[in-house]
């Protein structure tokens, strides 16, 4: 079995000639296998979609029930035959429902990790290393400068600021799928039990997480009418990152603009986003997690995609692991 007959990069995304399906296609295809619900991986309009039940629910919440011609939910760890291939989904530790997809035929196994991280996340199952011949890794933060601090330390900064500025609204920019729920759940685990206020764009997915068993505690809509500024004084308000520097943010009393993202490592990004309180909290593997994962899985070959491909390819070569960049387009880092 040649690897390009099992899985190969195409303009529409990874395609399996042997199984006749795409993984996370960037355009509409007859048969799509989807790793997770972020919009650059999970798009509407495919003929059929195979994904975890949670990912299917997330897609339905975002695109409506008719987001695909047909859907089928997979069980993690259960192998199924597709075309001439065997396909198994494994947890990726990225967001609720996220999965790596292992594709196998004639003794050759390729694992497409999708997005993943190795840090603890109370809102999803942890990443499972799957032995394979070829490991397809993401590269969002694949530069040595990206070393994410411990998540608890970053959350501690938010708690310290809340204590220091009890009258100011802490306006936390967080991506609406994954990051928002992780921030809320981490606040709860740290003992924060006050209501947390949500921008309208957050509500649907927070409800879905709760229905899937991720308890988020008391939540309330951040609906502050002009002149009613007292409501959110000293409170945590979660909103999409794009809102923290916008008009919407000005309704809150003396807000502390915060942003929970791996990009907050970069000072220029902090300034661009108008952030006073940067929280370096990422749902992607950092440099150390990427290299440690490749070392742990020890595949014969690594394919590197979406992000800073060259540095990780170079690292693999120096470590004696065959590696290539896939140069696929259409995967943004908006979800971080
Ligand atoms: Zn993602």
Residue 75 pLDDT greater than 70, yes or no: yes
**How far does residue 299's CA lie from ligand 1's centre (Å)?**
23
Q: What pLDDT band is residue 335 in, cutting at 50, 70 and 90? A: low
What are the tens digits of pLDDT across the range 255-304? 999 999 999 999 999 988 889 999 999 999 999 999 999 999 999 999 99
> Do 336 and 169 touch, CB atoms closer than 8 A?
no
**How far does residue 335's CA lie from ligand 1's centre (Å)?**
6
What are the tens digits of pLDDT across the range 189-198? 999 999 999 9
Higher pLDDT, 1 or 182: 182
Residue 229 pLDDT greater than 60, yes or no: no
Alpha-carbon gap, residue 7 to 329, rounded angstroms: 17
pLDDT value at residue 224? 66
How many other CB atoms are found less than 10 A from the CB of residue 46?
Answer: 25
Of 90-94, 137-141, 330-334, minimum mean pLDDT range: 330-334
Q: What pLDDT band is residue 245 in, cutting at 50, 70 and 90? A: confident
**How far does residue 143's CA lie from ligand 1's centre (Å)?**
18
**How far does residue 35's CA lie from ligand 1's centre (Å)?**
9
Closest CA to 139 of 262, 326, 36, 290: 290
pLDDT value at residue 248? 86
**How far does residue 169's CA lie from ligand 1's centre (Å)?**
28
**How far does residue 115's CA lie from ligand 1's centre (Å)?**
5
What are the tens digits of pLDDT across the range 91-115? 999 999 999 999 999 999 999 999 9
What are the tens digits of pLDDT across the range 265-278? 999 999 888 899 99
pLDDT value at residue 187? 98
**How far does residue 226's CA lie from ligand 1's centre (Å)?**
36
Residue 12 pLDDT greater than 70, yes or no: yes
List of E strands, the chain: 8-10, 13-16, 21-23, 31-33, 46-52, 68-74, 80-82, 85-91, 99-105, 108-112, 134-139, 170-173, 196-198, 219-221, 236-239, 256-260, 277-279, 301-307, 322-325
**How far does residue 141's CA lie from ligand 1's centre (Å)?**
12
Tokens at residue 275, please? Answer: 């952030």
Of 35-39, 299-303, 330-334, minimum mean pLDDT range: 330-334
pLDDT value at residue 246? 85
Alpha-carbon gap, residue 283 to 286, rounded angstroms: 9
Angle between helices 179-189 and 200-211 (to 10 degrees): 70
> Do 192 and 163 touch, CB atoms closer than 8 A?
no
Task: Please give the share of the chain, as a percent, with pLDDT higher than 70.
Answer: 97
**How far does residue 36's CA lie from ligand 1's centre (Å)?**
7
**pTM for the full predicted model:** 0.95
**How far does residue 231's CA lie from ligand 1's centre (Å)?**
34
Alpha-carbon gap, residue 281 to 264, rounded angstroms: 8
């Amino acid at each position: 079995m040649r690897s390009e007959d099992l899985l190969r990069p195409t303009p529409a995304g990874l395609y399996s000639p042997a199984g006749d399906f795409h993984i996370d296609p960037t355009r509409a295809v007859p048969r799509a296998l989807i790793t997770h619900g972020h919009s650059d991986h999970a798009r509407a309009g495919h003929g059929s979609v195979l994904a975890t039940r949670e990912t299917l629910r997330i897609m339905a919440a975002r695109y409506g029930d008719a987001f695909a011609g047909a859907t089928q939910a997979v069980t993690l760890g259960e192998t199924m035959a597709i075309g001439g291939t065997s396909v198994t989904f494994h947890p990726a530790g990225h967001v609720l429902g996220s999965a790596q997809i292992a594709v196998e035929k004639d003794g050759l196994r390729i694992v497409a990790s999708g997005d993943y991280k190795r840090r603890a996340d109370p809102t999803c199952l942890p990443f499972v290393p799957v032995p394979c011949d070829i490991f397809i890794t993401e590269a969002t933060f694949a530069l040595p400068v990206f070393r994410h601090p411990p998540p608890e330390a970053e959350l501690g900064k938010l708690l310290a600021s809340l204590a220091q500025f009890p009258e100011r609204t802490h306006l936390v920019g967080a991506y609406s799928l994954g990051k928002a729920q992780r921030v809320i759940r981490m606040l709860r685990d740290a003992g924060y039990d006050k209501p947390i206020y949500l921008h309208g764009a957050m509500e649907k997915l927070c409800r879905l997480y709760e229905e899937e068993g991720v308890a988020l505690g008391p939540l309330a809509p951040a609906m502050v009418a002009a002149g009613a500024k007292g409501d959110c004084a000293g409170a945590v308000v979660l909103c999409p990152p794009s809102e923290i520097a916008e008009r919407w943010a000005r309704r809150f009393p003396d807000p502390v603009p915060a942003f929970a993202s791996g990009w907050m490592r970069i000072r220029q990004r902090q300034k661009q986003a108008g952030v006073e309180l940067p929280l370096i909290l990422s749902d992607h593997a950092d440099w150390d997690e990427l290299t440690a994962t490749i070392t742990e899985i020890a595949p014969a070959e690594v394919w590197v995609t979406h992000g800073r491909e060259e540095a990780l390819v170079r690292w693999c070569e120096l470590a004696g692991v065959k590696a290539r960049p896939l140069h696929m387009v259409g995967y943004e880092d908006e979800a971080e």
